Amino acid sequence: MPSRRRTKVLIVDDSSIIREVVRCVLEEEDYEVIGLESPIGFTRALVLEKPDLVLMDVSMPALTGDKLVEITARSGLHHCPIVLFSDRPDLELARLAEECGASGYIRKTQETSLLGLKLRRFLPSRTATPIPA
C-alpha cells in the first residue's frame, strides 16, 4: 500500500522560537514543516517545496507578512492557502487578511496544541481517488 504524503506547511516567521514550537507541534501531528526566518527566499521555497499551506507571520522586518501575501497573490506562482499568523487582535487580523487576500488568520496563543486543528480549517479535504474496477 503506498504511503500517504504528509501535509506540508511552510512557516515564515522571524522568531526562531516560534518556528521551532510550530515545528514540534505540527510534526507531532504528522505534518511536514519547512521554516523560513524571513521573506527572503520565500518565492523560491514556494515554488520548490509546493506547500499545502503557508503560515505567515505578520510582523517581520523589511517586508510585512500581509504585503508578502499581496505580492504572492499577484505572482500566481503556487496556489495554496496563506494564513496570517500573529498575536495581533482578532479584528485587526481579520481586516489584514481580507485586505491582502490571505485565506484567513490564526492567532499565536498559548494553546499550541490546537494549532493543527486550526490549520485543518484552511486545508482542502483530501479524498481518495476511486480505483476503477
Q: Is the pLDDT of residue 37 over 70?
A: yes
pLDDT 10s digits, 91-110: 999 999 999 999 999 999 76
pLDDT 10s digits, 116-133: 889 999 997 644 334 333
Summarize the confidence of residues 26-45 as an average pLDDT: 92
Nearest CA among 37, 39, 6 for reference residue 20: 37
pLDDT 10s digits, 72-83: 888 777 789 999
User: What grid cell was written down for 17?
Assistant: 522560537
Summarize the confidence of residues 4-9 as an average pLDDT: 86
Q: What is the mean pLDDT of the chain?
A: 86
Nearest CA among 45, 55, 44, 49 for reference residue 116: 55
User: Which of 1-5, 38-42, 94-98, 112-116 ranks highest by mean pLDDT?
Assistant: 94-98
